[in-house]
Amino acid sequence: MRFDSLLGSLGHTPLVGLPGLSPSPEVRIWAKLEDRNPTGSIKDRAAFFMIEQAEKDGLLTPGCTILEPTSGNTGISLAMVARLRGYRMVCVMPENTSAERSQLLAMWGAKIHYSPAEGGSNEAVRVAKRMAAEHPEWVMLYQYGNPANARAHYETTGPELLADLPEITHFVAGLGTTGTLMGVGRYLREHKPGTQIVAAEPRYGELVYGLRNIDEGFIPELYDETVLTTRFSVPADAALKRTRELLDKEGIFAGISTGGALHAALGVAARAVKAGERADIAFVIADAGWKYLSTGAYEGTLEEAEERLDGQLWA
């Protein structure tokens, strides 16, 4: 495959079967390898679409500064595109994220503004909104509410999945900004009615839920409950266990949030087996494991890994 530039190679990622983890020939699980994107994660799709849209709308002009609350992949994707297009990039990131993320962001020239660990990304969003008010000339693309995020998946990820797996019955992905699930979910509901759209929401340690009161909670503006069939909460131990199973049984080296999505996919698969139904379940490998090596997720016993992960934003 030949492309004019790196950005041209966005998407068109492989969909691979998981013969070692699928319960039967009638109930099959498929993994979409989104780590095969330019910076190594599914976020390249959203970042590229959000920047393109902002350029089209005249919001972004050469020399502009992009501001984004992000603890990782979106920031890395935006920083890469910003570097190529001549924008400055400022990321607001919780301090309890892995060291690799800071290194990758700095590598592509992004400035990092740390927000307190307590409250996780809620706090990063709040700090970024405050900074945006102080710097009205900066452009906050705001992945949690930017329709171009979901549109990236409606226009690319969704059609790719249906072309490769016309018999798809379930789509499973991690729930964060909700962009992947909203975009792919809407596309599949329109083009393959009856497809079940399943969200896997990471359940963190208590620190992340340390709000001062419950009304400080956060729901991304992109989120539309009616697109989903159901939503599972996946604890860190289950996500870690599944991340290891992907390595052991399929040879796939994925990030920890992917273990969470696989956990939900296997749950859905088990229900199909119990009901005696055929199923073709596609789920998203959001990124590879490289950025999480320093968390110790892949070393020692599961209990040790889980302890090391406590209090970290693993997805």
Partner 1 sequence: MAIEVRIPTILRNLTDGAKTVEGEGATIAELITHLDKNHPGIGARLVENDQLRRFVNVYLNDEDVRFLGGIDAPVSDGDTVTVLPAVAGGAR
Q: Which residues are annotated as a binding site?
A: 73, 176-180, 257
- Residue 51: what are its φ and ψ, rounded to 5°? -70, -45
Q: Which among 102-110, 130-138, 154-162, 227-235 is the span making contact with partner 1, rule CB under 8 A?
A: 227-235
Q: Which of 63, 79, 48, 55 is nearest to 137 (CA)?
A: 63
Q: Is 228 in the site for partner 1 (CB under 8 A)?
A: yes
Question: CB 205 → partner 1: shortest distance, Å?
Answer: 10
Question: CB 4 → partner 1: shortest distance, Å?
Answer: 29
User: Using an 8 Å Cβ cutoff, are 15 and 165 in contact?
Assistant: yes
Q: Which among 6-14, 109-117, 230-238, 241-249 is the span making contact with partner 1, rule CB under 8 A?
A: 230-238
Q: How many residues sit in the footprint of partner 1 (CB under 8 A)? A: 51
Judged by CB under 8 A, the residue of 52, 55, 164, 201 near partner 1 is: 201
Reduced to 3 states (helix: H, G, I; strand: E, B; else coil), residue 40 is coil
Q: Is 70 in the site for partner 1 (CB under 8 A)?
A: yes
CA angle centred on 184, ends 9 and 244, rounded to 5°? 75
The residues that are catalytic are 43, 257
Edge-to-edge order in the sheet of strand 111-115:
111-115, 88-94, 65-69, 139-140
Axis-axis angle for helices 236-245, 256-275 (nearest 10): 80
- Give the whole-angstrom CA distance, residue 27 versus residue 31: 14
Q: Is 185 in the site for partner 1 (CB under 8 A)?
A: no
Q: Is 283 in the site for partner 1 (CB under 8 A)?
A: no
Give the nearer residue to partner 1 in terms of CB position, either 39 or 122. 122
Q: Which two tokens stand for residue 116?
A: 């307190």
Q: Is 118 in the site for partner 1 (CB under 8 A)?
A: no
CA angle centred on 167, ends 268 and 192, rounded to 5°? 90
- Counting Cα atoms < 13 Å in the Cβ hemisphere of 76 gives 22
Judged by CB under 8 A, the residue of 13, 22, 39, 74 near partner 1 is: 74
Judged by CB under 8 A, the residue of 40, 202, 259, 289 near partner 1 is: 202
User: Using an 8 Å Cβ cutoff, are 38 and 110 in contact?
Assistant: no
Judged by CB under 8 A, the residue of 58, 136, 193, 217 near partner 1 is: 217
Judged by CB under 8 A, the residue of 87, 142, 144, 154 near partner 1 is: 144
**Distances in whole angstroms, Cα of residue 6 to Cα of each of 44, 45, 74, 151:** 11, 13, 17, 21
Q: Which two tokens stand for residue 148?
A: 């171009």
- Give the whole-angstrom CA distance, residue 163 versus residue 90: 37
Give the nearer residue to partner 1 in terms of CB position, either 30 or 204. 204
Length of the chain counted residue by residue: 315
Q: In the range 156-175, which residues lie near partner 1 by CB under 8 A?
A: 175
Q: In the range 42-61, which residues lie near partner 1 by CB under 8 A?
A: 43
Residue positions in the annotated binding site for pyridoxal 5'-phosphate? Answer: 73, 176-180, 257
Give the nearer residue to partner 1 in terms of CB position, either 165 or 197. 197
Instruction: Kindly list the residues in this chain that would bind partner 1 in the complex (CB under 8 A).
Output: 43, 70-74, 94, 97, 101, 119-122, 124-125, 143-144, 175-177, 201-204, 206, 208-220, 225, 228-235, 257, 313-315
